[in-house]
Structure 1
């Protein structure tokens, strides 16, 4: 082979090498810091939880990342510092706005570099890492990790990073398991759930703040008197009484307090009541149960109230009128534009359609209520019914059994299905016994409504349009108003079909 031929081969090889270098060169060249000068960069910072309001954690991370950008001579434009403060990277259902914006910026080609404080600040799920690395390769973005001193664009460092993220994911899983076990143990021991301070208690949830406890009792009494949540909220704000967080009362804040089992000394675990707690109660269990029943009544009466708004009629006996044939509550409605209480259930595949005129039933019930109020003596009456010693002992034994069942589940001596069966059976026994001690405020509910002036006071409420108060009085006096089939035809009124069941006087 001649010299000329060898030279031709050398020249061909040189050309091939040059062309390969031309293809791979630009990407590899970007690894040279000298070629990065002036290129756009983004910063991502995250911290899972902060206990203060100055965001010290993410501010420190951002400062370190900006220092790194200066050393690398990169430009961090305004709006390219993405912050997720108080955000978990482990919880899959937790939104991270900063993370989403960072991915969008990479997709749009706004940044060529991403600087992070540490890999565990960026992600704790392997799939998140793969998404980011994929986008970085697709758009030729270089990733820089500062605290770990790792070049995230290097294949070897990427391999190590994948191992670190997998370890972080396992660590998060272990932490989650330990937290779940700790919460189960606290619940089994009857200790309160930690978290934000509850109104009426200190931060530990075990000591009552008496000044706030008086407000809690007032809220429960007013609700049982028939006052609306809006009215209660307004009164609290007008009296400048702050919430546990020092803020003004909102509709949901009042509802949350009314639904809070902690106020009655009841422990809830994963949304289920498991028995009494070890802290003192502000509200008797009976009062709490009645409020929950009343909450259900009012929710069910929402449709009736909407109908009242449409027709201009407020049904003062709402949630008290029952159909004797079907055993269900009769709702307010209209029949030929006349307000009625009617049954909407079905029997034997046919609609019941039993109804009674509100213009007949409500005055009849009002007369009965006025007679009861006129002769009602509440002097010296206790604010709550008291359980007998036998019932109290039975409840205590059942509550201990319920607590023991929770402990057995926490120790994995029984499975979840077995625990659910035991909890349901025992809880029903406890609730049945506790209903005997339902607290019905007397003096507060009946203030100014008893004695010889009862009729005048009642008519005054009607003139003022205080139908919520009238409904509250009906609820206090009557357990139910049962409607039987009419024995007459035509327009004749059969008052014999109305059976008013009073609440116990004691």
Structure 2
């Protein structure tokens, strides 16, 4: 039976010079596998359709899946139509080469073969990827220039997401949506909030451009949009009137912007209260942070409270009671915490972990000596090295670098409560917040299960940092 292999196929976009589709790429790669006697396992064909390998922030699920399969150790060969289908960024190649050092990967193209452990093949691959990156840079520059020329000509920007009120060409007005836009602007000028407008549209089943629910944020974006006024904007700069009809006149749009600025300035709330657990409180249901909010009583509220639809979360907890509870836990910990002789920048590793890492590092050196003297084969050396390095990495993840002495100065020992209260009375809330962040990773809030009107301490889960 042949050795296991994986296939990777990708087409960036319709602008790609090579438009060999992913289906045909897969057929060609399977033919290569048959010719070489390789076996493509089930689930080892990875595809990124309409995904760029050049854009640094663009996620490629197929590429990520391929790397995961290689890390798992079930793949010895990677087959692609051409290396530039696989990567167009040097860092992607270096990541693949690093994995190859661990797993002995051979890369096959339709017309060539690259042994990723061979220095010459690595050299040529780096040249090919650098050339592909330069080609993509040139294409991107030409595209940016073309988009700017389009903006100067007053032609609208088109994309997969059409602007609300217009068809996919961003020119043709959809009258039913135009009526909604005019109503939106009129209601805002009459005093309605974006939230009230969104709720009214959702209540009568009026969908947003993508077919989903209106949210307060999407209403605000429509109220700020200059496309609906017929103005062409490119990278935040107005280029003048566009070649499409306006739905909202400039006077109405300008009045809405003035009204929005007035409302923002009139409702600026500068709380005199510092929420000492800021950045620590997390909603267990949503996994998002909870922020301090005023109301009848200071509270921490889930940050999804302003969303509409099924994602909305109204979880809250009384701030004063929560802060007192977490403060008691912090003071108790500080009372018995010993930082005598701690360095200015401390690690959270115990002496035992430090000793284990030192022993593993010595073992790595011995393995390298054995490999150099040919007592171990390259494959054996790589496998044993990976095992030891994984142990070291697992221990090093415990390391947390913090300025221990500076943060905890004067707060450790039997007088911790007195020192804490003194800092609180002096208004040094930011210092207390820093101490709490040092001690705790998160304060997780579950749903309330007690009687109404009572504070349920059982819903609080404090996750400590390793000290």
Are residue 152 (structure 1) and residue 114 (structure 2) matched? yes
Question: Structure 1: how far apart are the matches of 2:132 and 2:13?
Answer: 17
Map of 1:239 onto structure 2: 204
Q: How far apart, in 2, do the equivalents of 1:64 and 1:248 lie?
A: 44
Give the direction of change, closer, same or farther, for the CA distance of 1:231–1:49 in structure 2 (3 Å limit).
Answer: farther
The CA deviation string for residues 212-242 of structure 1, in whole angstroms up to 9 with x for no partner, is 2111101111122222323322332333333
Hey, what does 1:180 align to over in structure 2?
A: 144
* Residues 1:140 and 1:262: Cα distance change in structure 2 (over 3 Å): same
Q: Partner of 1:168 in structure 2?
A: 132
CA distance in 2, matches of 1:83, 1:302: 49
**Displacement of 1:79:** 3.8
Match among 94, 99, 108 for residue 58 of structure 2: 94
Cα distance in structure 2, aligned partners of 1:137 and 1:283: 61
- Is 1:120 the counterpart of 2:84? The answer is yes
Aligned to 1:310: 296
* Residues 46 and 86 in structure 1, CA contact (< 8 A), matched pair in contact too: yes
Q: Trace 1:107-506 onto structure 2 (pairs within 5 A).
A: 107-146=71-110, 149-153=111-115, 160-195=124-159, 196-300=161-265, 301=267, 303=269, 309-310=295-296
Sort the Cα spacing of 1:261 and 1:73 in 2 relative to 1 into closer, same or farther, 3 A: same
Q: Provide the rounded CA distance (Å) in 2 between the counterparts of 1:117 and 1:302.
A: 58
Q: Distance in 2 between matches of 1:72 and 1:239?
A: 62
Distance of 1:60 and 1:246 partners within structure 2: 34
Q: CA deviation at 1:123?
A: 0.8
Alignment CA distance shift 1:308-1:130 (3 Å): closer
Instruction: Give deviations 1:146-175, integer Å, cap 9, x for gaps.
Output: 3xx211227666555444333322221111
Going from structure 1 to structure 2, the CA distance change for 1:86 and 1:139 (only over 3 Å counts) comes to same
Instruction: Give distance in 2, aligned partners of 1:240 and 1:227.
Output: 19
Give the direction of change, closer, same or farther, for the CA distance of 1:225–1:70 in structure 2 (3 Å limit): farther
The equivalences for 1:70-109 within 5 A come to 70-109=34-73
Return closer, same or farther for 1:282/1:142 CA change in 2, 3 Å cut-off. Answer: same
Kept in 2: contact 1:123–1:165 (CA 8 A)? yes
User: Which of residues 51, 56, 61 in structure 1 aligns to 2:25?
Assistant: 61
The answer on whether the counterparts of 1:45 and 1:116 sit within 8 Å (CA) in structure 2 is yes
Residues in 2 aligned to 1:232 and 1:245: alpha-carbon distance in whole angstroms:
17
Q: 1:63 to 1:291 in 2, by over 3 A?
A: farther
Larger Rg: 1
Q: What secondary structure sits across from 1:203 in the alignment?
A: coil
User: Residues 246 and 107 from structure 1, CA distance in 2 versus in 1: closer, same or farther, beyond 3 angstroms?
Assistant: closer
Secondary structure at 2:172 match in 1: coil
Query: When the two structures are superposed, what TM-score results if normalisation uses the length of structure 2?
Result: 0.51
Deviations 1:76-118 (A, max 9, x none): 3344333333321111222333323433433342311112222
Choose from 4, 9, 12 the match for 1:45: 9
Is the alpha carbon distance of 1:304 and 1:58 closer, same or farther for their aligned partners in structure 2, counting shifts above 3 Å? Answer: farther
Q: CA deviation at 1:245?
A: 3.4
C-alpha RMSD over aligned residues: 3.2
Counterpart Cα distance in 2 of 1:185 and 1:50: 20
How far residue 293 of structure 1 moved from its aligned partner, in angstroms, is 3.0
CA distance in 1, matches of 2:109, 2:253: 55
Q: Deviations over 1:422-456 (max 9, x none)?
A: xxxxxxxxxxxxxxxxxxxxxxxxxxxxxxxxxxx
> Cα 1:65–1:287, aligned 2, differ >3 Å: closer, same or farther?
same
Report the secondary structure of 1:286's partner residue.
helix
| SS class of match (2:206) | coil
Unaligned runs of 5+ residues in structure 1 are: 1-36, 313-506
What stretches of structure 2 of length at least 5 have no aligned partner? 272-291, 299-467
Secondary structure of residue in 2 paired with 1:204: coil
Q: TM-score, normalised by structure 1?
A: 0.47
> Residues 70, 233 of structure 1: CA spacing in aligned structure 2 closer, same or farther, 3 A cutoff?
farther
